[in-house]
Amino acid sequence: LSMLHHKGSIPHPHRLSAAFTSKLTDVIEKNNERKSHDLRRLSLITVSDSRSSKDSSHGSLQEVLDHAVLAETPTDPYLIQENKYPFLRNLRTDEDIGDGLWICCYCHHENTLRHWKGPFPFKYIHCDRCTRILCSSCHSSEVLTPWPYGMISAPRPAPGREVRYCHVCVVCGLSHRAEMEGTTLDFYGVTCSGCGITSYGDWPRFHIGNVEPYRRDPDPSFVKLIEARVDDAVKLAFQWELASVESRPPSRLSCRSPG
């Protein structure tokens, strides 16, 4: 990680490419081709019994997005004082750093996340560089923590608070806040207000986590995402190498029992 060059409180985007070898990048790109094919097939599947997103009674989608208000409160001064270099951290505003960041699994670009009130908590989540949509293979800070498909129960939010779970349309990238009945999360049968596709439960799901660790110091959050990215690439390369060895025909020089 010593090769990473820091500028201000958040590392410069261009240093991310130096964190990976060309071999690991090739592995990731091959895997992205498979995911793109799967997403194209996924977009053709719909559910007949669907419901529209909650914005339908509040005007057009664009009006809802334009009038959305930030959900997270301003950073408390005590968080900045807990930073190793509070003076440098104080130079960056909440507008500069947002509520978190995510790293695109395709082009490795850093993207800022902002949590908004209302039915579309992160609005559209596209990569600023390659325009691809955030997916379950991308890495994000605590504010957008992947949520397992099998987990459908969660504590009810406090009175006056919104549900802190969401899922992201795989076709247009519009984020949708999950609905809740009692303690059961409902991710099914929602018609996307952005493109009209219907969720049947397979859109990537996320828990909207605490922004304090990132707000305190964005650098460690960035480093964690790099480490997770490298770990995933190494595991994927190992799996492919293992599969290649298993499918390889026996060598003519392999030992055989006499007779």
Domain count, the chain: 1
pLDDT at 56: 46
pLDDT at 30: 55
Phi, psi of 231 (to 5 degrees): -60, -45
Q: Who wins on pLDDT, 212 or 250?
A: 212
The CA-atom distances, in angstroms, between 3 and each of 13, 22, 102, 134, 223 are: 13, 16, 20, 27, 12
% pLDDT > 70, the chain: 72
CA 103 – CA 107 distance, rounded (Å): 8
Mean pLDDT of 127-152: 92
Tell me if 253 is assigned to some domain: no
Tell me if 216 is assigned to some domain: yes
Q: Does the pLDDT at position 51 exceed 80?
A: no
Structure tokens at 226: 């790099």
Query: Residues with Cβ < 8 Å from 155, sequence gap 6 or more?
Result: 183
Mean pLDDT of 231-255: 71
CA angle 10, 11, 14 (to 5 degrees): 140
pLDDT at 44: 40
Tell me if 10 is assigned to some domain: no
pLDDT at 1: 41
User: Is the Cβ–Cβ distance between 94 and 100 less than 8 Å?
Assistant: no
Residue 187 binned pLDDT confidence (cut-offs 50, 70, 90): very high
Q: Does the pLDDT at position 253 exceed 70?
A: no
Q: Which residues are paired to 61 by β-bridges?
A: none
Tell me if 118 is assigned to some domain: yes
pTM above 0.85, yes or no: no
pLDDT tens-digit readout, 69-79:
999 999 999 88
Residue 49 binned pLDDT confidence (cut-offs 50, 70, 90): very low
Mean pLDDT of 232-254: 72
% pLDDT > 90, the chain: 46
User: Is the Cβ–Cβ distance between 3 and 83 less than 8 Å?
Assistant: no
User: Is the Cβ–Cβ distance between 97 and 88 less than 8 Å?
Assistant: no
H-only helix segments in 110-217: 212-216
**Beta strands of 97-234 (E only): which ranges?**
100-103, 110-113, 139-140, 145-146, 165-168, 175-177, 179-181, 184-186, 188-191, 198-200, 205-207
Tell me if 184 is assigned to some domain: yes
pLDDT tens-digit readout, 79-134:
889 888 888 888 899 999 999 999 999 999 999 999 999 999 999 999 999 999 99
User: Is the Cβ–Cβ distance between 240 and 23 less than 8 Å?
Assistant: no
The domain containing residue 168 runs over which residues?
16-240
Average pLDDT value over all residues in the chain: 80
Greatest mean pLDDT among 11-15, 123-127, 180-184: 123-127
Q: Who wins on pLDDT, 12 or 257?
A: 257
Mean pLDDT of 215-238: 85
User: Is the Cβ–Cβ distance between 11 and 217 less than 8 Å?
Assistant: no
Structure tokens at 175: 């984020």
Tell me if 175 is assigned to some domain: yes
pLDDT at 145: 94
Residue 232 binned pLDDT confidence (cut-offs 50, 70, 90): confident
Burial of 126 (0-12, 13-18, 19+ CB in 10 A): middle
**218 sits in which H/E element:** helix 218-247
Q: Does the pLDDT at position 135 exceed 80?
A: yes
